[in-house]
Structure 1
Amino acid sequence: MGSRRSNELSPHEIDIATEPIELETLSYDESVRKFIADAERRGLRPDTISYYKDKLGLFRRWLVAQDMTDYIRRVLRTDVDKYIDYLREDRGLSNGAINTSIRAIRALFGYLYDSKYIRNNPMKGYPLLKVRKGNIETFTMKQLRQLLNAPDRRTFIGVRDYTYMLLLLETGIRLSESAEILVEDVKLSEGVVFIRHTKNHFHRYVPIQAKMKEQLKRYLKIRGTCESNHLFVTLDGEALQRGALQKIVSKYGKQAGIKGVRCSPHTLRHTFAKLSVMNGAGVFELQKILGHSTMEMVRVYVNLYSSDVNEKHKEFSPLRDL
């Protein structure tokens, strides 16, 4: 007859007794479902949730090819290394593009570990790849004139699209922000537009000047009353969706024959920042208007486009008195 075991459990046995049953059996798909459900409960933006679904879906395809989707605990740090090598070498993605996948995978495993679905977090402290800061694409003044002259302003669509592109250039707002502007958000008498759908959940007002106010006034008269309260609408009076708004700049860029720069809402945002800095905007004003939560991107704009250094260099150039 063997010796009687102790009734007291060891620390390791206590871990086994109290850990969630899913710890050993949770699949990759179940893990992602739990992660997305948690993101929705926390009220993350639909764009953010779509981003997680997209990047984690791409990772899933790779895991399926490795026959590794059955248990989430099987995914190790070395597997993530191999996936990143695959993205770089087989898919030819840039470090910046790969970093978007790393962030999503990091968020998934961080959630699983914090929720005690896994014992070890293979992504703990996983570094992002180094991204060389290159030049930021912007439109030249000539290209801006070509772009803004392209819409046929004898049509409703032409007036709407011209107003839309002018607003992006005037305010530097994001595509996702522009898609959610309502008619009531346009405060012509105050010279501001209220931005309700922001990346960091902090609502803000962006200023508009005389030319923009006049154009919005014209557009609103032509727009009239519709079923939708959204500022930008279709011929049927329905809200113009983000996908359709995204294509506007590209459409007129092609029409105007603009080459050598990506014609997109984000390029207009960069162009707004560039011209604002060149015209003397300070970092704090720019940060507030652009809605950046940190100064990092604003400093990039200032370093690239500030003319102060050039002007000062005229005064202290070593060749000045030669």
Structure 2
Amino acid sequence: MSKRRNNALTAEEIEIASEPIELDTLSFDEAMSRFISDGERRGLRPDTITYYRTKLGQFRRWLVSVDKVDKISMVLRQDIDDYVVYLRDNRGLKNGAINTSIRAIRSFFGFLYESKYLRNNPLKGYSLLSVRSGNVETFTIKQLRDLLNAPDKRTFIGVRDYTYMLLLLETGIRLSESAAILVEDVKLSEGVIFVRHTKNHFHRYVPIQAKMKEQLKRYLKLRGTCESNHLFVTLDGEAMKRSALQKIVAKYGKIAKIKDVRCSPHTLRHTFAKLSVMNGAGVFELQKILGHSTMEMVKVYVNLYSSDVYEKHKEFSPLKNL
């Protein structure tokens, strides 16, 4: 006769009884579906959802190659290390690009652990790879002039694209932010642009000066009335998509034969920051205009491009009076 069990559960048994049924049993696809659904429920931007889908999809394909896609609990910390090596050695990615994947995977596993779909989080405390500050690419003044002289201003597209690149250089706004600007967001009398589609969901105003205001006036006259309220439109009067805006800088960089620097909206953003710092912008002003939630990237710009330390060194150089 078997011994009668104790009706009262031990602490360990209570933990087992209260565990979610799906703990450690979800497949990668099921886990990713729940992660994306949670992001959509929380109102993450479409660009952010696309970013997660892309990076996690790439990670999934690698997991298939090592036969670890059936259960998400099969993924260990060593697998993450191996994936980083794969991205670096097989895909030829640099640390900055690899970090974009790590961030997505880290958020994914953090969600699964917090939602009690996983017993352990293999990404807990997983650090990003170091990125040298000197990797920030910017245009030279000559390259900027060549870039801005490339559009054919005898055409609507040329004027539109010139205005677009000038606006990126003047304000340092992100590609996704520029794609969402409406005509009503251009406050010429106040000398500001209202940025509504921000990375951190905090709307902000960015200042524009006389040259930019004059160019926007010219463009708005040529643009006229369209069915779309977006600032930048096609020949058919439809809103320009993010993908089309992304190609503008590369298009004119190729025409201007600019080499040794990536011709992209983000390079114009870096260039805005560089020139602003060199012209005396402070960290707080720069953070507000760029829309950074932390000072981390702003400090990189200041450390790279501030001329104050060089000017002051003329005064305190130990060799000055020798």
Q: Give the superposition deviation at 1:217.
A: 0.5
Other structure's SS at 2:194 match? strand
Residues 14-53 of structure 1, C-alpha deviations (whole Å, 9 max, x = no match): 2222222212431110000000000110111111111111
8 Å CA contact 2:88–2:98 kept in 1: the answer is: yes
1:153-164 equivalences under 5 Å are: 153-164=153-164
Q: In 1, Cα distance between the equivalents of 2:135 and 2:29? A: 39
Report the counterpart of residue 125 of structure 1 in structure 2.
125
Tell me, in whole angstroms, the C-alpha distance in 2 between the residues paired with 1:24 and 1:264. Answer: 42
Q: Deviations over 1:209-268 (max 9, x none)?
A: 111111000100000010100000000000001111011011111101112211111111
Displacement after TM superposition at 1:92 (Å): 2.3
Residue 305 of structure 2: aligned partner: 305
Displacement of 1:319 in angstroms is 3.6
SS of aligned partner of 2:23: helix
* Partner residue, 2:46: 46
| Counterpart contact for 2:24–2:119, Cα < 8 Å | no
Q: Name the CA distance, whole Å, in 2 between partners of 1:187 and 1:295.
A: 28
User: Could you say if the C-alpha distance between residues 114 and 162 of structure 1 is closer, same or farther in structure 2, counting changes exceeding 3 Å?
Assistant: same
TM-superposed deviation, 1:304 = 1.3
Quick one: distance in 1 between partners of 2:256 and 2:122?
Answer: 50
Shift of 1:11: 2.3
Paired letter, 2:167: L
Measure, in 1, the Cα distance between the counterparts of 2:181 and 2:24: 47
Q: What is the rounded CA distance, in whole Å, between the counterparts of 1:190 and 1:274 in structure 2? A: 25
Displacement of 1:135 in angstroms is 4.2
2:235 aligned partner: 235
Cα offset for 1:198?
0.4
The answer on whether the counterparts of 2:177 and 2:196 sit within 8 Å (CA) in structure 1 is: yes
Letter in 2 for 1:62: W
TM-score (norm. length: structure 1): 0.97
Contact 2:134 2:304 in 1 (8 A): no
Task: Specify the code of the residue in structure 1 equivalent to 2:21.
Answer: I
The aligned runs of 1:38-77 (5 Å cut-off) are 38-77=38-77
Determine the C-alpha separation between the residues in 1 that align with 2:80 and 2:321.
Answer: 59
Match of 1:224 in 2: 224
Task: For 1:259 and 1:112, locate their aligned partners in 2 and report how far apart those are by CA, in whole Å.
Answer: 44
Cα contact 2:191–2:207 (8 A) shared by 1 = yes
Matched, 1:200 2:197: no
What is the distance in 1 between the residues matched to 2:175 and 2:28?
Answer: 32
Say whether residues 1:314 and 2:285 are aligned partners.
no
- Aligned ranges for residues 60-139 of structure 1 at < 5 Å? 60-139=60-139
Root mean square deviation, CA, Å: 1.3
Structure 1 residue 321 displacement after superposition: 3.8
Matching residue of 1:281 = 281
Q: How many pairs are equivalent?
A: 322
The percent of aligned pairs where both chains have the same amino acid is 80
Partners in 2 of 1:74 and 1:303 — Cα distance?
A: 43
Moved more, 306-315 or 291-300: 306-315
What residue in structure 2 maps to residue 15 of structure 1? 15
TM-score, with structure 2 as normaliser:
0.97
| Alignment correspondent of 2:27 | 27
- Give the distance between the partners of 1:3 and 1:27, measured in 2 at CA: 39
Question: How far has the Cα of 1:280 moved from its partner?
Answer: 1.1
